[in-house]
Structure 1
Amino acid sequence: MWPDLFKLMVEGFDINIKVKNLRWYIIALVCLGTIVNYLSRSSLSIAAPQVMSDLNFTEKEYSWIVSAFQICYTIAQPIAGYIIDMIGLKVGFFIFAIAWSLFNMAHAFAGGWVSLAFLRGGMGLTEAAAIPAGMKASAEWFPAKERGIAGGLFNAGTSVGAMLAPPLVVWAMLTFENSGLGTEMAFIITGGVGILFAITWYLIYRSPAKHSWLTKKELDYIEQGQEKHLVANDGKPAIKEILKQRNFWGLAIARFLADPAWGTLSFWMPLYLTSVMHLPLKEIAMFAWLPFLAADFGCVAGGFMAKFFMEKLHMTTLNARRTSFTIGAILMLAIGFVSIVKDPYVAIALMSVGGFAHQTLSTVVITMSADLFKKNEVATVVGLAGSAAWIGQLSFTLVLGALVAIIGYGPFFISLSIFDVIGAVVLWVLLKEPASQTVAHCQMKKATAAAY
């Protein structure tokens, strides 16, 4: 029994079956991982009032706890991406998922705000692996024309996880309230879900070339639809060489300019609707989730747009992505009008357009990491650019917090409306089409059409 169990854990489910369109089931598994990631991440914010009361600390200490996560997450993204590129996606993501789940469960045993801040920092260090891992999976399992759709699907899990957290955490708190372990069980349950996902991931995931469930027809379709010049080599990711490339800095600058919009929607929108628009709390609960629903649709819209441009307009992969990003940037102009409208529902509608536009262009620019870098560099590049994105978000948040009482929200919404237009210009100016991509473009179209 035990030798068989050990073999199962090491090799996974190598049963003799073939699954049609396996790549979509794999990306669904990755999406589940991002859902679990954001479920764990959001658990503290839902339980925060009770935790603050139980451990006797104030909003000031809570802000330090939140900052510990944000700082560690920013620092860890390139490190997590590098580790995943080095040791492989299957083992790497498994280790990080186990680690963030254990840190989450350990919240139940925190004795004060200092220990809680330490645990949140640990979660920041480990949860930073989710987006680099998801993008690496998209790079391995999908041809170029479908890669943006796959990236959007797994990225949509971030919003789903955030939406699932409130009912699950509140249910746990109410169910175990009489035992005095309500908040503790909320963390243990959400952490336990992460452990179950990690085990499932390890048993099921393998690269396309090693997956026994994959049909030869689908493997040929994936390989023939990918750029031959981006095949992984045997070396480790060369961070110094990556940082010397203009393509990297184009992606990093665009993400630095794009991410403040998401931070504003996530952390400042409810406060804006309350303090400026004077919207009652009940109505905020009824309508403030709409921008995030729109964002879910935006996650996949960019991928479908790029696929359309590649198939119908015969654009190269890079130009299709840049065009999709530019369309998203133009749509982002809508959020600037929030600064002048007086109706709160119009403001929410405009922010919903902004949420859709942001996730459209954000998913596109993250996907470009797989379009421009070798497969053994993708997670590292996504992590490095992700740090730039979070630095942009943190910087904008600090400036907004310092000046909003003096100049109001208007200038900040106007800034958000033009940041991505600047980002689009950066992508068109800085990104360089790989020399072999233009030639390979025509060959790839013929090969993929013949394979499927």
Structure 2
Amino acid sequence: MKTSLSMTESAADAASSAQADTSRYRWVVLAVVWAAFLLSYVDRVAWSSVAAPVGHSLGLTVSMLGAFITAFYIGYVLANIAGGILTDVLGGRATLTLALVPLGVFTFCFGFAHSLWSGIAIQFAMGLAAGADYSAGMKIIAAWFRKDRGRAMGLYTTATSLAVVITNATVPTISQWYGWQNAFRLLGGITLACAAVAWFVLRDAPEGEPPLACIKAADILALLKSRNLILLAIAGCGGLWATVGFGAWGNALMTKQYGISPVTAGSIAATFGIGAVIAKPVLGWLSDMHSHARKRISILCLSAFAVMLMVFGQSSTVTQFYLLAPLLGAVGFGYTPVLMAQVSDASGRNSAGAGAGLTNAIWQSGSAMSPLVVGYFYAQTHSFSVALLTLAVGPVVAVAALSLLSSRPQQ
């Protein structure tokens, strides 16, 4: 009897998986969560693209240019834990909308910031508002994509790298023409519009699929005890230490150290994002090939990231920066969909939101600390290469953590 019931459940799971993998609407769902993630990241990195020229008007010293980014990520880290659990309770659609609405409002309000402390307070609030967007997107993708989850994660995470391209290609120019305040007010309005689209278009799971069970305390405890999740959390923290640190300081360092104009520095940073846009879906697709590929790909990518940061740190001309930036972007962002797919595999569908939120909270602690640490070392040494070497420490730590990761079959 038990065998018969088990076979029935397995058949139901297989049918559910097939339904999720063949539904055409899943691409609409992916497009909406991608757009939400894109706008969230544009709001996040917009300050970095104008920090050098605008910082002076707000009375910021060189060492404090990263303070707003750090404030955002402190709020983001705090909100990720609760946001992940909230996602597993309310569902991805409701949580994503609840994240986008206040993010749009606070981004609009940042256009009225007039001092260091008002800017820090609003960026902190923006981080709190955006804290659940990542786990909500992960939860929705886990429900709609099964066998090709790596490819879906690869496409999803192109949002962050494309956001770097869009931000650096538009925000400095808009700020130059219309003022940085209006640039942030425009971003806030667009984010609110995306929230409305998410609410009316998204569905938590394919039609006819049974709802996932509500997450319990025992499920969260199991996640906290998972060796693989702990190692993936450390790896992501080290990786994002460098990725976000470069995003926060790359433009300002090139401007401060070599006198490159903010618009040219933004154009170089845009090519950094272009490399990432290409690499992410490719590496995500490759990671779907077999269960051991994800570990190997993430280790190779993060190793190359550390090396490329040190090479970039030895560069000094616009031509060199243009040549190296796409390669740096490819390895500096390419590992993210592979790590995200590994987190999803290790957490399981029912706890996908909490697993994403808990690990991302640790990942983003690297994002929160990196801008201030790099700013400190640059202020002390005024050395471009020392700043980039400081960033390279993160991927080295990530590779060490991933080397201890046990291989597990995909879920």
Shared topology, TM-score over 0.5? yes
Q: Could you list the per-position Cα deviations for residues 12-46 of structure 1 after superposition, in whole angstroms to 9, with x for gaps in the alignment? A: xxxxxxx9622222111111111221333345556
Q: Which residue of 2 aligns with 1:273?
A: 254
Q: How big is the shift at 1:409? A: 4.0
Superposition map of 1:21-420 within 5 A:
21-43=24-46, 57-60=58-61, 64-108=67-111, 113-144=116-147, 146-165=148-167, 185-210=182-207, 232-236=212-216, 238-276=219-257, 279=260, 283-307=264-288, 310=289, 315-316=290-291, 319-332=292-305, 333-341=307-315, 344-404=318-378, 405-406=380-381, 408-411=383-386, 413-414=388-389, 416-417=391-392, 419-420=394-395
Q: Which residue of 2 aligns with 1:445?
A: none
CA contact 1:141–1:208 (8 Å) conserved in 2: yes
Q: How big is the shift at 1:125? A: 0.2
Alignment RMSD: 3.5
Could you tell me which runs of 5 or more consecutive residues in structure 2 were left unpaired when the two chains were aligned.
Answer: 1-21
Q: Which residue of 2 aligns with 1:424?
A: 399
Q: How far, CA to CA, are the matches of 1:389 and 1:27 in structure 2?
A: 23
Alignment: residue pair count: 385
Q: How far, CA to CA, are the matches of 2:140 and 2:23 in structure 1?
A: 18
CA contact 2:273–2:326 (8 Å) conserved in 1: yes
Aligned residue type for 2:215: G
CA contact 2:66–2:248 (8 Å) conserved in 1: no
Could you tell me which runs of 5 or more consecutive residues in structure 1 were left unpaired when the two chains were aligned.
Answer: 1-18, 212-218, 224-230, 441-452
Q: How far, CA to CA, are the matches of 1:124 and 1:372 in structure 2?
A: 26
| CA 1:236–1:24: 2 relative to 1, 3 Å | same
CA contact 2:30–2:141 (8 Å) conserved in 1: yes
| CA 1:286–1:121: 2 relative to 1, 3 Å | closer
TM-score norm. by structure 1 comes to: 0.73
Q: Could you list the per-position Cα deviations for residues 158-200 of structure 1 after superposition, in whole angstroms to 9, with x for gaps in the alignment? A: 233344346765787789x6xxxx6665444322222221121
> Once structures 1 and 2 are overlaid, which stretch shifts more, 235-244 or 276-285?
276-285
Aligned residue type for 2:323: A
Q: How big is the shift at 1:370? A: 0.9
Q: Which residue of 2 aligns with 1:6?
A: none
Q: How far, CA to CA, are the matches of 1:354 and 1:391 in structure 2?
A: 22
Aligned residue type for 2:319: Y
Q: How far, CA to CA, are the matches of 1:412 and 1:173 in structure 2?
A: 27
Q: Could you list the per-position Cα deviations for residues 376-395 of structure 1 after superposition, in whole angstroms to 9, with x for gaps in the alignment? A: 32222222222222222343
Aligned to 1:234, the other structure's residue is in SS state coil
Q: How big is the shift at 1:408? A: 3.3
Q: Which residue of 2 aligns with 1:228?
A: none
Identity, % of aligned pairs? 21
> Once structures 1 and 2 are overlaid, which stretch shifts more, 267-276 or 372-381?
267-276
Q: How big is the shift at 1:299? A: 1.9
Q: How far, CA to CA, are the matches of 1:401 and 1:209 in structure 2?
A: 47
> Once structures 1 and 2 are overlaid, which stretch shifts more, 321-330 or 387-396?
387-396
| CA 1:280–1:388: 2 relative to 1, 3 Å | same
The structure with more radius of gyration: 1
